[in-house]
Structure 1
Amino acid sequence: MNKTFILKEFFVAQGLELLCICESWLPMGDSSALLELLPVACSCFNVPRSSGRDGGLVVYKSHFNCKQLILSNPPSSFEMCLSELGPPPLLLVALIYRPPKFDVDFLKDFSDLLSVNMLKYDHVLILGDFNIHVCCPDKPLAKVILHLLGSLNLSQWVLGPTHAQGHTLDLVLSIGLSVAGVEILSPVFSDHSPILCDFNLPCVSAVASSHVRFCRVLNAAKVIELGELLCAEGSELHTMSLNAEELTLQFDSICKNILDRIAPLRIRKPRPRPEPWLSDDVRACRRAERKWKKDRLQVSREIFRESLFSYQQTLKEARVKFFADIVEKNSHDPRSLCSVVNSLLEFSDSSSLPPTGETCNDFLHFFVDTVRATRAAITNSPSDSLLPE
């Protein structure tokens, strides 16, 4: 993938919470590209092709309970990335890429996918590049697929061209889920248009942000005012016939009421820390984008497009130089070098299995069986009397 920083900037600038990408071209195990792409507080899972350069990629905010689903017998006529967004009632999200070449099994595979999952989920979102000209309903394949969607009560929300040649190839389908604010952006960094839309999850648990802090603003004048008000309002405490605990609670209440009047609580959110390798010259594409959006000229679009790829290359080079300087500076500090290497290579894969009692027991049995097999393979091995049964 040669558009990692472009897509990262797009995710942040558009305020996205979920990004689905077809034809990601990310091979298995390429964690460096994923680390370049992931914004702060985001996770992803990649479903690469077993061979070739296509595949699907889903990027989402880490606070979502997102689980990748692996099919034991995936369809052969199209690529698919399945995931669940929870908590219950779960939303099934299917990212689909259908190759342009006609495959006689596509309609059957797609019908089977819909019929099986419609029974399991009340809320389904299907999106992706179908390579079917639904803008031409008289074409045979478009007619059949539109009839299939209608028979299953699936809503199709994209109304307009999504490809540089003016056809509607990318679809957003749903059942049991209302989609709003569908916006088709101009195809700039691809020949397909990005599609933006809003939808509410069936059930979203409130996520308490550990980064939000509350504070009070106190200066010298407010401290003096606090003392005066405490003297005035707390003077009656000694006349109350209360025990020590009740007096403490009363004094605490008086202090809080006074502070709420003179210095109310304010929410302080930390400013996002800019990446240290960014500089003003790599942001030139933002100016080109504003100019293109203002005049909508083809020449401005080409300038914006060139500046995007220049931004990607410049940022990549700046990032390489930034980490190269750190490595050179800490060449005699193994701990710092290991920390830098880990930050560049370690990637947390959200598709790992959750820790359950069943998986722990499976691992225990696997470990014991492995030890037993290893001992049996070693000649003159010690007694197995200490091996747990």
Structure 2
Amino acid sequence: MNFPRGTRGGGIGILHKSHLKLENRTFQETFEYALISNSSCTLNFVVVYRPDPSGVNTSPFLSEFEEFFSNVDLLSGRTLVLGDFNIHCDLPSKPEVKQFCTILSSMGYRQLVDVPMHRLLRTLDLLIVKDNETLVSEWDINPTYYSDHLIINCVLDVTRVMISKTFRVSRNFKAIDHQIFATDLAEKINSVLEQGHINVNDLVKGYNNACLNVLDTHAPVKSKPRSVRYKPKWYNDNVIKARRERRRYERRWRKTGLDADYQIYIDAKSTAADVIVREKSNFYKNKFADCTCSYKDIYKTVNEPLNVSGNVLPDSDTSAELANNFCEYFVGKVNKIRCELDMYDPCSSNSTTSHENQSVVSCIENQSVVSCNLFDFQLITEDDLCKIIAKCPTKSCPLDPMPTWLVKQHLETLAPILTAIVNVSLSSGVFPAELSKAVITPVLKKPSLDRNLLSNYRRSQICRLWANLLRKWFLLRSPITSMSMSCRIRTSQPTKFLTVPRLRLPVSRMTFLGLLTTSVPFYF
């Protein structure tokens, strides 16, 4: 929808396919317009609305329209200008109509509509194309008055956009024989442990390769083409049948033009609408009845018919460009925070920080003094590891070599190597490089914010299972549990810190463990 106004009526509303992109919405002094183009900019639609000019001089509109149309003529590709111009083109003798037609002809355009389009038998709604183009192959008028204006139906001479096909990559986990799978997995895991890796990165790499090799044998990756076609979940056979009947009677009426066939078409259209409303209502009633015990499912169900989606992203020509833009923004934010923390001197009154980082500095200044001994980290046993994993949710990170539910099912086989990874990491003071990777999803902070402004987005990341496992084990069995509690108390959303002040560490070997939550927008 275009810009709201305090007065009644008017404005621009556009319903378009997702492959078209709304380029511009502008309100001029005497009219407003919206420009829509396809991805390759070979086809442009300019929708124009001019408010009722009763009692207003038309000269400002004509001069402004001439300047506007000179810019429209510079657009690449074919252009169709349409909308409610509120100018009486059915009266060609009027001076403003003559001047309007002169502007069009001087730029090589022509106006197609030559029949009344208003209840008062005036031609106000126009279709404008170039003289040397056949963009509009045919057009007609819908004789039904849904408002004060009639509807123009036009057929465009353009290449039909083919339904894009994507390839779905998946594994058939149902085909796994878990007894044979467990035997092969144990063989691969034992071969990795027998190599006696001291480096935790080599151990993680061996674990990943072992899991992937066994999975590729029992459930290989398959790629299947899938057409991207939107189909609502409530769209069932009853709706399909009602819509087919409506379309059949419409074709008959347009072919014969009889009033009886028109009345049959109107009845079929009303019946199809009732069927859609009934089926949609029954679908959501049943869905609400199935999720009465989960508030999360209830909110998810409510957001679906309201078209409330969390996957809001800025406009971009390609996915790679959008990903690079977010990467540059978040990296720049990291560098800015690091520079301000490096330059901050609590003893100097000249130290300044940005408003968004005041909470970070406040957390550092107000940290409590905790004195305790930390000579090494407590190692984990297989029993403790199995208990922690059993309490973890079954959600998985796309970077995990094996989904979490499958890990839980074969935990007895995987427990030795997972225990070895955690203990080698804690004893060597090295966090595995592979586990520091995560899947990042930009999330708009508030629905009311501008989605094209990158600063209005925060990071939401999904870490690997073993990265969360290390964090949970440290918080559960760390000798400095008081400081893990201070992490929860001293919180500044969306950043959380675990402060480790005044620890007695061996001089010959100093270790620092930084634990970051999924909402932290930078790494140390």
Query: Given the two structures, how large is their TM-score scaled by the length of structure 1?
Result: 0.56
Cα gap change, 1:174 to 1:136, in 2 (>3 Å): same
Query: Given the two structures, how large is their TM-score scaled by the length of structure 2?
Result: 0.43
Kindly provide the amino acid, as one letter, of the partner of residue 70 in structure 1.
Answer: N
Aligned residue among 175, 193, 199 for 2:157: 199
For the residues of structure 2 that align with 1:77 and 1:308, how far apart are their CA atoms?
A: 39
Kindly provide the amino acid, as one letter, of the partner of residue 319 in structure 1.
Answer: K
Q: Secondary structure at the match of 1:331?
A: coil
Equivalent residues of 1:189, 1:305 under 8 A apart: no
Task: Map Cα deviations across residues 234-265 of structure 1 (whole Å, 9 max, x no partner).
Answer: xxxxxxxxxxxxxxxxxxxxxxxxxxxxxxxx
Cα gap change, 1:300 to 1:122, in 2 (>3 Å): closer
For the residues of structure 1 that align with 2:312 and 2:10, how far apart are their CA atoms?
A: 20
Cα gap change, 1:157 to 1:315, in 2 (>3 Å): same
Aligned residue among 48, 68, 84 for 2:22: 68
Aligned residue among 280, 285, 291 for 1:324: 285
Equivalent residues of 2:166, 2:228 under 8 A apart: no
Matched, 1:98 2:50: yes
Identity of aligned residues (%): 20
Matched, 1:352 2:317: no
1:55-134 maps to which residues of 2 (within 5 A)?
Answer: 55-62=11-18, 64=19, 66-70=20-24, 74-88=27-41, 90-102=42-54, 103=56, 104=58, 105-134=60-89
- Which residue is equivalent to 1:382? 364
- Which residue is equivalent to 1:223? none
Q: CA deviation at 1:55?
A: 3.7
For the residues of structure 1 that align with 2:261 and 2:43, how far apart are their CA atoms?
A: 40
- Which residue is equivalent to 1:155? 110
Q: CA deviation at 1:99?
A: 2.4
Aligned residue among 265, 275, 279 for 2:235: 275
- Which residue is equivalent to 1:138? 93
Cα gap change, 1:309 to 1:137, in 2 (>3 Å): farther
For the residues of structure 2 that align with 1:185 and 1:79, how far apart are their CA atoms?
A: 24
For the residues of structure 1 that align with 2:326 and 2:229, how far apart are their CA atoms?
A: 40
For the residues of structure 2 that align with 1:295 and 1:206, how far apart are their CA atoms?
A: 32
Cα gap change, 1:87 to 1:290, in 2 (>3 Å): closer
Equivalent residues of 2:141, 2:150 under 8 A apart: no
For the residues of structure 1 that align with 2:253 and 2:145, how far apart are their CA atoms?
A: 14
Q: CA deviation at 1:151?
A: 0.9
- List gaps (5 residues or longer) in structure 2: 168-225, 317-321, 338-352, 367-496, 498-521
- Which residue is equivalent to 2:196? none
Q: CA deviation at 1:80?
A: 1.5
Q: CA deviation at 1:166?
A: 4.2
Q: Secondary structure at the match of 1:87?
A: coil
Kindly provide the amino acid, as one letter, of the partner of residue 43 in structure 2.
Answer: L
Equivalent residues of 1:375, 1:381 under 8 A apart: no
Aligned residue pairs, count: 281
Kindly provide the amino acid, as one letter, of the partner of residue 346 in structure 1.
Answer: N
Q: Secondary structure at the match of 2:27?
A: coil
For the residues of structure 1 that align with 2:53 and 2:270, how far apart are their CA atoms?
A: 30
Q: Secondary structure at the match of 2:358?
A: helix
More deviation, 49-58/187-196? 49-58
Q: CA deviation at 1:161?
A: 3.7
Q: CA RMSD in A?
A: 4.6
1:1-389 maps to which residues of 2 (within 5 A)?
Answer: 46-51=1-6, 54-62=10-18, 64=19, 66-70=20-24, 74-88=27-41, 90-102=42-54, 103=56, 104=58, 105-175=60-130, 177-188=133-144, 190=146, 191-200=149-158, 208-210=164-166, 275-276=235-236, 278=239, 289=250, 292-293=253-254, 296=257, 301=262, 304=265, 308=269, 311-312=272-273, 315-332=276-293, 337=298, 339-346=300-307, 352-354=314-316, 355=322, 357-358=324-325, 361-362=328-329, 372-376=354-358, 380-382=362-364
Cα gap change, 1:321 to 1:154, in 2 (>3 Å): same
Task: Map Cα deviations across residues 54-95 of structure 1 (whole Å, 9 max, x no partner).
Answer: 443434444x3x322235x6313223221222315x433211
For the residues of structure 2 that align with 1:91 and 1:169, how far apart are their CA atoms?
A: 24
Structure with higher Rg: it is 2
For the residues of structure 2 that align with 1:147 and 1:207, how far apart are their CA atoms?
A: 42
Q: Secondary structure at the match of 1:110?
A: helix
- List gaps (5 residues or longer) in structure 1: 1-45, 212-267
Q: Secondary structure at the match of 1:93?
A: strand
Task: Map Cα deviations across residues 206-249 of structure 1 (whole Å, 9 max, x no partner).
Answer: 765349xxxxxxxxxxxxxxxxxxxxxxxxxxxxxxxxxxxxxx
For the residues of structure 1 that align with 2:12 and 2:257, how far apart are their CA atoms?
A: 31
Equivalent residues of 1:92, 1:124 under 8 A apart: yes
For the residues of structure 2 that align with 1:113 and 1:270, how far apart are their CA atoms?
A: 37
Higher RCO, Cα 8 Å, sep 6+: 1
Task: Map Cα deviations across residues 253-312 of structure 1 (whole Å, 9 max, x no partner).
Answer: xxxxxxxxxxxxxxx999996813738678775576456446645576567557646754
Q: Secondary structure at the match of 1:344?
A: coil
Equivalent residues of 1:48, 1:54 under 8 A apart: no
Q: Secondary structure at the match of 2:150?
A: coil
For the residues of structure 1 that align with 2:272 and 2:127, how far apart are their CA atoms?
A: 30
Cα gap change, 1:285 to 1:119, in 2 (>3 Å): closer
